[in-house]
Structures are given as structure tokens and as C-alpha cells.
Amino acid sequence: MRIEGSSAIVVGGASGLGEATARELHARGATVTIADVNAQKGEALAGALGEGARFAACDVREEDQVRAAVEAAASVAGGLRISVCCAGVGWPEKIAGSRGPHQLQSFETVLAINLLGTFNVLRFASFAMLAAEPLESGERGVCVNTASAAAFDGQVGQVAYSASKGGIVGMTLPAARDLADKGIRVVTIAPGTFDTPLLALLPEEQKDALAAQIPFPKRLGRPDEFAALAAHIVSNQLLNGETIRLDGALRMPPR
């Protein structure tokens, strides 16, 4: 899939991994719709990028908002070709302990945003791609989802987060198979420990301790490295139905 001249939507695109991806796709010539629940950051980013970038308010839990954001991206000449979903949250809580059992509401919230939200983006984006004319190669579009190393190596207190990210991994191959005859690819990135706004709140010594767990390179991942992989997935037609770990060989310990 050629990025230049294509329409792309980046959900969760106002900060962190999504912001880096929106910047990368825009720099490579895509028209980018930045969809996010944070209107202030999303509009500021679209304004900073300038021509070829715009913002769409989108809570991934809200079906109508996801549909509207996707339709906005699909209204560009040539239709929607690229979808990247980076929206997600975490909630540290043990399944049972002195405070009682894990709260059901927090578990449901994490799954609603991370898993059901990703599914919402995937189903509406892939449906929109059906309206686009196939390219000479037969390809219509690419959907990139975001899981986590926690899908495989969930730590203490990550039962909700790991379940949500494991669900994204689990639906990647069947979704790719569902869409294969339509010329639409589905690939998931499972990042390890990245230097995002969430980790920026931690003291420097804690960030250093997290980096020390990574075999090589011994540092936190950079959002631009995630963005570069997302762009490569879009460009490499043979990547399909796969989950790619982006973690410096990290296998997360229990704590």
C-alpha cells in the first residue's frame, strides 16, 4: 500500500504512539484524520501538521462516533486506505486481595476501550475500505491494531489489561482471514515498554529500572519507532494476519 496520496485514520492519534504515527503518515504524504477523545490535543496536532491533517472527536466505545470519524476519513478522494488504532487505557488491580475481588466495572471499562474499541475501529474501517477501488495489486486497505507485550507476559495487577490486549492478538488472524478476499490486511503491533506520556509521570529511577529489564537496547522504546513499524506494515504487502512484538526481546517478569 502506497502511503503517499492515501487517506488514513489514526485513532488515539492525539498523543503517544498514535501521535507519532499520525506525524509519520502525514510526513509520508497521507491525508490523516486524527481521531481521539481529547479534542484539545487532537485539534492542536491537526493544526500543527497543517494541510492534509484534520481532527475528529471519537470515543472508541461510542459506535456513532467511530462511524462518523471513519466516514470523515473515507470522504477523501480515493477512500479510506489506512487505519491505525492506538486507543487504550490501563488499570492496575489484582484479581483478589485484602480489598476484595477485582472490581467488575474497572475490568469492563478496560475491555470496552481496549478490545471493544479496537473492534469498533476495525469493523467500521474495514467496511469503509470495501467501497474503495482495489489497486493493481488487488489491495484495498490496511488495518493496524495495537496490543502489548502484556498480551503474552501479563504482570501482577494486569489481568484486565492483559485480557484486553490478548483479545486483540486473538482476533488478528481471523479478521485477516475474513477480509483476505477483499484485499484488506490486518496486522497487530505488540509494543513493550515505551516512553509515552503515561510513563512520563513516573520518577526517573523507575523509568531507568524499566529500561534495565530490556535485553537490548537497554532503553525505553520511542514512539517514532512504533510509527516507523506501522508505516512499514502499510507498505509491505506480505505482512498480514500477524502480531509483531516490538520490545527489544523483553519478556516481562511477574512484577
User: Could you write out the DSSP letters of every residue in 152-187?
Assistant: TS--TTBHHHHHHHHHHHHHHHHHHHHHGGGTEEEE
Long-range CB contacts (within 8 A, 24+) of 32-35: 32/8, 33/7, 33/8, 33/9, 33/69, 33/72, 33/73, 34/10, 35/9, 35/10, 35/11, 35/66, 35/69, 35/73
Tell which residue, 188, 1, 165, has the closest CA to residue 82: 1
Selected catalytic residue, list 55, 124, 161, 226: 161
Q: Is 210 a catalytic residue?
A: no
Task: Write out the catalytic residue numbers.
Answer: 161
